[in-house]
Chains A and B, each alone.
Chain A
Amino acid sequence: MNALLRAHLGSFTAVVVLQVIGAVAGLPPLLAVVELGRTLLSPDPVDHGRIWTVVIVGAIGLLVRLLFTATAAGIGHVLDSTVQLSFRRQLAAQLGRVPLGWFSRRRTGELAKVVGEDVSAVHPFIAHAPGELVSAFVVPVVSLGYLLTVDWRLTLITLIPVVLAVAHVPLLMTPRRTREQQDFDAAMGRIASSVVEFVQGIAVVKAFGGAGRAHRRFITAADEFLDTFYRWVRGVSAIAAGMQLALAPPFVLLVVLIGGAALITSGGMAPADLLPFLLLGLGLTAPVAALGHGFDDLQAAGRAVGRIQDVLAVPALPEPAHPVAPRGHRVELRGVRFGYEADHEVLRGIDLVLEPGTVTAVVGPSGSGKSTLVQLLPRFFDPTHGSVVLGGVDVREISAGDLYDAVSFVFQDVRLLRASVADNIALAVPHAEPDDVVRTARLANIHDRILELPRGYDTVLGDDVKLSGGEAQRIAIARALLAATPVLVLDEATAFADPHTELAVRQALSTLQGDRADRTVLVIAHRMETVVDADTVVVLENGSVVESGRPAELLARNGAFAAFWRSNQAIGADPR
């Protein structure tokens, strides 16, 4: 993050310098009025030439101010969009590196918010804060120096409003206020998540909704939020009002005039010396005003930066320092244990060998750890104990490139990108020949359907058309066929919209399993014929392998697999 900002240090400096020059150039016009007053009020005869010079200098100051502040603002905002873009790119790159397991504990919406809104919230930091804050301090300091040379007593009096305003600041920072601020943020977060729930669960809300309680959670969150908000506002409103009043121009002028009048009537100051205080004195409050004004935005920006840094700080899935290439594609799981949470193991010591050229079918009740098991192969997670070995090498020692050249997968939850059909199929082989894409689509039984789409292979999924689950699955199969990896991990679909689709997917799947004789296949089986055709069946229960062997052997053993088999038959052979 800091490194990122450092890359733009030159632009930042330029913005600050231009902004400061522009802001300081705002002083000559005011000083011109002062000089005008001094000359006109002095008893000496008026020097016309000098007066007009003063006026011209003032006018030039205004022009300089205009040019410099405008340029600074322009550069600042362009810089802002550049920095935001690189923040977002950095976040995207980071999110592409963190372990996949990390996502399962995060809400997609919250992460999307970090990349989107949180980066946008940095705006005041980049575009406004550097120049405006620096000039909010430089200009008053310059003015203060000048005023001190005019009359030090009135300078001190002019500072009274600033002191009064600053005296309020600690009141805004008490632990109680901080707590209220945190409550406020938390309530805001609750409202955001309750609205997401409310809207996403709208069908449930409606189906079970009495008019009153359907959206109770949302309304309750909103009411709580407002109560917190009101408490917070009530707490700070008196303090804020006091502060704003101290800084209000009429009050500052009143203080200056009372001080000035006292000094002038006592003969301690020339009347003309009052003018600079009237004109520049108001500017002395700028730093406090700038702090108060942009404070909320800056605080919000600070919190957003915190969330961005949290994401950037997540350790990436470790890449091997000295990658080893796998030799062959025999897969072994050695004493693999894994849990998403430390105290809840999903896999409790799995030993398994997958020989090239064989199909291993995993069966077991839901929650037995089947999906987790197969996800270890493409390294969605790393085991907490034990190892997954491909071609004699721990997958953690294999470079990501080599690993994904060797392993491809088709899972139930097929995620298609909002991109063309061809791009979706060629996802793992970006430079695939169009002919190959078509060939694999044919093999996957989806070619004819693609040709029916409005723009064939160029149809953008999601925009132009939405594919059914069975169709999406066949795209995923085509994807895996094109990748043609020696190891294939499959999560068989459980259901299809209609028998036609089911047949098409089944045919595609058998093509996929059969297109390489030496392929190592691991499949979560839901259909009995897949199980029967497998070389090895592994029965998983509660995170452990309870039985494994050839299907016929297991059936004869009359254990867990036989029971599973019978329960299936019972459903399949429902009374006619």
Chain B
Amino acid sequence: MIRMLLRVLGHEYAAPMRRTVALMTVTAIAEGLSYALLVPVLRALFGSAPADAWPWLVAFGAAVAGYAVLRYVSDLAGMRVGTTLLRGMYHRLGDHLARLPIGWYTAGRVGEVSVLASRGLLAAMGVAAHLLAPFVAALVTPLTIVAVMLAFNWQMGLAALLAAPVVAVIQVRTARSTAAVDAERHRRDHEATGRVIEFLQAQPVLRAGGRAGERFGLLDDSLQEVARASRRQVVAAIPGALGLTLTVQAAFTGLLVLGTYLALGGTIGVAETLTILVLAARCADPLLSLSDIGGKLRGANSELVRLDAVLRTEPLPEAVDPVTPLGNGLEFESVTFRHGDRTVFDGVSLSVPDGQRLAVVGPSGAGKSTLLQLLARFYDVDAGAVRVGGVDVRVISTEELMSRMSIVFQDVYLFDATIEENVRLGRPSATDTEVRAAATAARLDEVVARLPGGWTTNVGEGGALLSGGERQRVSIARALLKDAPIVLLDEVTSALDPVNEAAVHDGIERLMAGRTVVMVAHRMRTVRRADQVAFVDGGRVVEAGSHDELLRRGGRYAEFWELSMATVTGD
């Protein structure tokens, strides 16, 4: 557990963590040892000279004071270490997430990581702040008390000690037997969350289908599975909890019987017997709390395991000696790229000279967008090379590479902030005038004028309060503001109706002027003005050349062109 914690954290935290655990252990031992003083106190009080108890009581008082100080210091240390760990962890996870390749972020991952980074992290780090001290105390204090018993009466001490291995075995076995059901519960919870989100997002359709009133079967099934998994968890935890209680109680009963027997036989003083029984009662509570703490620790541990898995995912390697590209020409040289077990590209070669425009055309699923993503190094190729300004993107620093590119995606994600802030993301150092100029160029000013709060309107989560066309204009304004020499356009006008398309047309023209452009497009008429067209299908460049050349060739591109012209002008 601690080892896992340290691995997740990084070893710079090992020393403070170890110090804290040591402090907690010392505190627990101090508590146990202080009870040793009960024996002389009670011997005096139960004996013929009760006043002899006072000096011992003073000693006990001093021991309690010492324990109090230790406890305060170790609690505080636990809290401080916990907070420090948490801070370190947030930064580490944040840095790591920013470095992971975009390809890693599938739809399911997004939800998973969100939960992990908010509550999961807190639960995992809670180990140091809240769970470790009670756990150490629940283990170490009873053991110390048993040692004290051994010192005063070996028979009773030995009897108490017998319980220790049984308790240990039960703890270990419980951990093992609950691991599977805990994982199952986590999986069911995850699945149910997915179903709830689906249920929420599909409300219009479900209602129109008359399905919202009745129980929605798919959701209800997954909710039932959660309930079932939670019951299985209860069942799996019962033997451990029962076994622990039984053991502790059997030990206490054993001590009671043994103590009575020994006292009646006269082998041990009455005061000693009674003190040991008082101490045995004192052991029971912390031991019984072990099953509760153990469950919480296991919960935290499974979060740690998930964190560890994320942190051990390798980001794309950064060049040790980054090279700065000199120009902005782009080149794919025999690029092979696999995604999972699917080969997306197989030996693709293309080049775009500095300042020219390449249009990528092809049927859906041909991997057109992936070409752009390889240029921006969202993924690394499996063979061949992608070059910018003649330099392999893998030896350009991420910062340098990104500073050279403006990317306008098909689906625009906006942050839940004002329109202005979203535009400014393109270049945080831009002046207000520059931001407004870029917005005007993207004809975003029309949108802003219509919004209730103008520039300061919050766009909602993911930009939900704007229409697709409006979001697109924000993203173009962002790219204009960034003013990078390379522009990647991913089906930019695809989601726009003709009016919106006309609106963003100027913006895009401005964005492309004098820059190296790669655009994925299926509005065939936007393709026509590219210097070069590449028709991609089946992981290969099937045809490449200028629009006119390809039309003359009468191949796949020409067929696409005919079809789309028929679509535009009507039957």
Contacts and interface: CB of A to CB of B under 8 A. Distances in A.
Interface residues of B, number: 159
A141 interface: no
21 contacts: A52-B260, A59-B257, A62-B249, A84-B230, A95-B203, A100-B204, A108-B200, A192-B118, A195-B113, A199-B117, A201-B414, A203-B378, A206-B376, A215-B94, A244-B71, A257-B60, A341-B452, A404-B209, A408-B208, A418-B195, A495-B523
B147 to A, nearest CB: 16
Interface stretch (A110-118, A164-172, A439-447): A110-118
A409 B79 contact: no
A271 B46 contact: yes
B560 to A, nearest CB: 6
Interface stretch (B34-42, B169-177, B322-330, B538-546): B34-42
Residue picked from A483, A532, A568, most chain B C-beta under 10 Å: A568
Given A108-B197, A366-B499, A529-B571, A70 B97 contact: no
A499 B201 contact: no
A41 to B, nearest CB: 6
Interface in A456-486: 468, 470, 479, 483
B159 interface: no
Nearest to B95: A215
Nearest to B473: A366
Nearest to A225: B90
B264 A92 contact: no
A366 B402 contact: no
Given A207-B405, A378-B208, A411-B204, A528 B193 contact: no
Given A222-B91, A241-B75, A250-B63, 16 more contacts: A81-B227, A81-B234, A103-B203, A195-B118, A196-B110, A196-B461, A200-B462, A202-B98, A203-B102, A209-B402, A214-B98, A218-B117, A251-B64, A254-B61, A526-B498, A572-B498
Interface of B, helix, strand, loop or mixed by DSSP: helix
B500 A571 contact: no
B72 A241 contact: yes
A532 B568 CA distance: 13
Interface string A41-67: 100001010011001001100110110
A572 B569 contact: yes
Interface residues of A, number: 159
A107 interface: yes
B260 A567 contact: no
A498 B226 CA distance: 42
Contacts of A468: 364-365
Given A222-B94, A378-B204, A494 B497 contact: yes
Given A200-B110, A570-B502, A264 B50 contact: yes
B495 interface: yes
A378 B500 CA distance: 27
A479 B469 CA distance: 27
A452 to B, nearest CB: 12
Residue picked from A41, A197, A223, most chain B C-beta under 10 Å: A197
A413 to B, nearest CB: 9
Contact of B416 (A70, A197, A401, A408): A197
Residue picked from B218, B253, B363, most chain A C-beta under 10 Å: B253
Contacts of B90: 218-219, 222-223, 226
A198 interface: yes
B456 interface: no
Given A206-B98, A210-B399, A258 B57 contact: yes
A169 B252 CA distance: 35
B238 interface: yes
Interface in A409-427: 409, 411, 415, 417-419, 427
A146 B434 CA distance: 82
B345 interface: no
A367 B245 CA distance: 67
B570 to A, nearest CB: 4
Contact of B41 (A33, A199, A257, A479): A257
Interface stretch (A71-79, A321-329, A388-396, A514-522): A71-79
B40 to A, nearest CB: 11
A250 B46 contact: no
A358 interface: no
Contacts of A51: 260, 264
A32 interface: yes
Contacts of A258: 57, 61
Contacts of A455: none
A51 B256 CA distance: 11
Interface in A362-381: 364-367, 371, 375, 378, 380
A400 to B, nearest CB: 7
B216 interface: yes
A49 B64 CA distance: 40
A500 B363 contact: yes
